[in-house]
Amino acid sequence: MVNGLLRGLERLGAATRKAVTRLGFASRFLIAVLRHTPTAFLRLPLTLREIYFAGVLSLVIIVLSGLFVGMVLGLQGYDILSRYGSSEALGTMVTLSLVRELGPVVAALLFAGRAGSAITAEIGLMKTTDQLQAMEMMAVDPLARVVAPKFWGGVISMPFLAALFSASGVFGGYLVGVQLIGLDSGAFWSNMQAAVDFQLDIVNGIIKSAVFGVIVTWIAVFEGYDTKPTAEGVSAATTRTVVEASLAVLAADFILTVFMFRGV
């Protein structure tokens, strides 16, 4: 009985210690990557290549998802708003929900699944096949050559992707609200323009997406670098990237929202 309790406590302690160690390792890893920022920008083609893989190749999924989310918001929003006789507020509702929340958050979740998993798998496989060690043998720092460009490529891509998501979502809401349901186009846009504030809504949305970009890419490169060098290790690390990044984005979104929009 006492032994069992002790063993349980021991396991809890070990788990806590491991989690804290991992967090510390991840933080030191981030600092090391940030220290290699100059190389990522001095050798710009490397970073551009990563923007291509993380950003350009995510364009289609982001724009299409944004369009569909916007159209669904238009339909559901109209259904609810028309009960209160204020269906002309549809543009406001669609735009505010997209710019403040859905744009940054859903774009970050899609980004974690589309680009984050690819980053982890690539770095993990390079580690498993000893390519990272081979680089070190040739006196090439893998942090500077591989990790830092991937990190900055993701961080730079994310705000653009979120803005695209929001913009195509607003367009989707316009398609449903004005073209399909037949709301007045003037009321749709002017109510939106009266309610959406540049500083409060749009700038805060961009800040959110930048923070999410750092979180997702940081987790992705760290999980890749920390992979157990086996086939299962790579698959486990890829899964962990998507799960951890999604949870971290949602939690960070709550915290940011508390600071940005409380009392407004």
Partner 1 sequence: MSRATIDVWVGIFVAIGLGAMVFLSLKAGNLLTTSNAPGYRVEAAFDNIGGLKTRAPVKAAGVTVGRVESITLDPVTYQAVATLRIERQYEFTRDTIASILTSGLLGEVYVGLDVGGDEEMLADGHRISKTQSAIVLEKLVGQFMLNQASSLAGETK
Q: How far is the CB of 130 from partner 1 (least distance, A)?
A: 26
Q: How far is the CB of 152 from partner 1 (least distance, A)?
A: 13
> Smaller CB distance to partner 1: residue 48 or 236?
48
- The number of residues making up the chain comes to 264
> Smaller CB distance to partner 1: residue 132 or 211?
211
Spatial distance between the Cα atoms of 65 and 57, rounded to a whole number of angstroms: 14
Residues that bind partner 1 (CB under 8 A): 45, 48-49, 51-52, 55-56, 59, 86, 95, 99, 157, 159-161, 163-164, 166-168, 170, 189, 192-194, 196-199, 201-202, 206
> Smaller CB distance to partner 1: residue 159 or 172?
159
> Smaller CB distance to partner 1: residue 130 or 197?
197
> Smaller CB distance to partner 1: residue 214 or 248?
214
Which of 153, 112, 154, 99 minimizes the C-alpha distance to 241? 112
Spatial distance between the Cα atoms of 232 and 245, rounded to a whole number of angstroms: 20
Q: How far is the CB of 61 from partner 1 (least distance, A)?
A: 13
Q: How far is the CB of 56 from partner 1 (least distance, A)?
A: 5
Q: What separation in angstroms does the CA of 93 have from each of 17, 103, 165, 166, 167?
A: 45, 13, 16, 13, 14
> Smaller CB distance to partner 1: residue 59 or 255?
59
Please report how many Cα atoms fall inside a 13 Å half-sphere around the Cα of residue 13, on the Cβ side: 6
Cβ-based burial of 189 (10 A; exposed 0-12, middle 13-18, buried ≥19):
middle
Q: How far is the CB of 127 from partner 1 (least distance, A)?
A: 24
> Smaller CB distance to partner 1: residue 201 or 244?
201
- Where helices occur in 112-184 by DSSP H, the ranges are 117-128, 131-137, 142, 148-174
Q: Hunting for tokens 């920390």 — which residue is that?
A: 226
Spatial distance between the Cα atoms of 230 and 55, rounded to a whole number of angstroms: 28
Q: How far is the CB of 33 from partner 1 (least distance, A)?
A: 21
Residues whose CB falls within 8 Å of the CB of residue 121, separated by 6 or more in sequence, listed in order: 224, 234, 237, 238
Phi, psi (deg, nearest 5) at residue 263: 75, 15
Q: How far is the CB of 132 from partner 1 (least distance, A)?
A: 23
